[in-house]
Amino acid sequence: MATATNDAQLSPPTRRYSASKRLLPYLLSLPALLVCIGILIPFFTAVFYSLQRFRLSQPWNRSMNWGENYLNFLSDPDFWNTLQISLTYAFLTVGLELLLGLAIALLLQKPTRLNNFVSIMLLMPLMTAPALAALMWKLMTNPNFGILSYFATVIGFDDMRWGASPDTALFTVILVDIWVYTPFMMILLLAGLRSLPKQPFEAAALDGVPKIQQFWRITLPMLTPYILTASLFRLLDSIQQFDIIYALTQGGPGDKLMVFQVEAYLNFFQSTNVGRSAALLMILWALTFFLSNIFIKNWLRLRERARGEV
């Protein structure tokens, strides 16, 4: 980390206020921290719940059972199904959105009027709340009057059942997710592409390096911090996906789309099984924490390297 150099750069003009100087950064970040911690106190309550046998409809049974909720997961096929679906969903959506977002960003890289206009238009799906987007797609895939169902029939998929069939349910929710969130990827990556320095490309062009090679050797490595930031934010949202799936299929058909948040939501609100619901969410939290840690470590490393190189 560049701690030492930064401190040196920032050596104050006068040394008189060095005490308050040292306190300043803490003072600046304290309010933000306090506000977040205030909301996060319930987090510890949730940890406590997750260690209990706690079902609202059976208050007389409430007791500490320590890790039993977690241990039960080991032998619970529903839990493993949830874990698998959540990870599949998260990696498929983030992966596809990354590819698509990158491709679109490359298409729109040159800041022409048309490209700028298109990039703003493409933000529209992002402006649509996922819950409402799911509703829109539900209308469009209605087998009676849905326009997409009609198109499907026209191109020969007579029996396209979208979210209603176990074969296409995952495809359908991923499609909606892609529709909503690819613009987010696209805009972050576009910002990255447009801020890349020109010299390496000019040099490479002079050396006659083909464009494809330029992409792999220069664009992609320099873009990596952006890719990681964008993917991180998407991954956090995606692994916690609720709105789209709940609105489209409530986790069905069968258990096909029972991701963590849907399962935990149903566990709390329908079954009022607070202990299990909290334990599920704790696992989800641990999972996101773990995944994002990897991302951030790499991100910081890449940033430092990018700085070092220039």
Contacts (CB under 8 A) with other proteins, residues 71-100? none
Euclidean distance between CA atoms 272 and 49, whole angstroms: 12
Residue 66 to residue 64: CA distance in whole angstroms: 6
Q: Does 36 bind other proteins (CB under 8 A)?
A: yes
- Collapsing DSSP to helix, strand or coil, 176 comes out as helix
What is the C-alpha to C-alpha distance for residues 26 and 143, in angstroms, rounded to an integer? Answer: 58
Residue of 220, 168, 166, 150 whose CA lies nearest to 192: 220
In the region spanning residues 137 to 156, those forming contacts with other proteins, defined by CB under 8 A, are 137-147, 150, 153
The piece of 87-95, 212-220, 253-261 that touches other proteins (CB under 8 A) is 253-261
The span from the CA of 310 to the CA of 298, in Å, is 19
Q: Which position among 93, 179, 231, 234 is part of the footprint of other proteins (CB under 8 A)? A: 179
SS3 state at 54 = coil
Q: How far is the CB of 50 from other proteins (least distance, A)?
A: 9
By beta-carbon proximity to other proteins, the closer residue of 37 and 95 is 37
As a whole number of angstroms, the distance between CA 112 and CA 12 comes to 44
Residues 223-252 that bind other proteins (CB under 8 A): 225-226, 229, 233, 236, 240, 242-243, 248-252
Among 293, 250, 225, smallest CA distance to 134 is for: 250
Helix (H, G, I), strand (E, B) or coil at 306: helix
Q: How far is the CB of 83 from other proteins (least distance, A)?
A: 14
Residue 121-140 contact track with other proteins, rule CB under 8 A, x = bound: xxxxxxxxxxxxx-xxxxxx
Bridge-partner residues for 64, per DSSP?
A: 52
Among 159, 207, 208, 210, binds other proteins (CB under 8 A): 159
| Shortest Cβ 143–other proteins spacing (Å) | 5
The verdict on 162 binding other proteins (CB under 8 A) reads yes
Residue number, 95 or 197, with CB nearest to other proteins: 197
DSSP code string of 89-142: HHHHHHHHHHHHHHHHHHHT-S--HHHHHHHHHTTHHHHS-HHHHHHHHHHHT-
Segment lying near other proteins (by CB under 8 A), choices 87-95, 161-169, 213-221: 161-169
Q: How far apart are CA 242 and CA 236, in angstroms?
A: 12
Question: According to the binding rule CB under 8 A, does residue 218 interact with other proteins?
Answer: no
Total interface residues for other proteins by CB under 8 A: 141
Which range of residues in 40-48, 88-96, 212-220 is near other proteins by CB under 8 A? Answer: 40-48
Q: Shortest approach of other proteins to residue 91 CB, angstroms?
A: 17
Least distance from C-beta 67 to other proteins, angstroms? 15
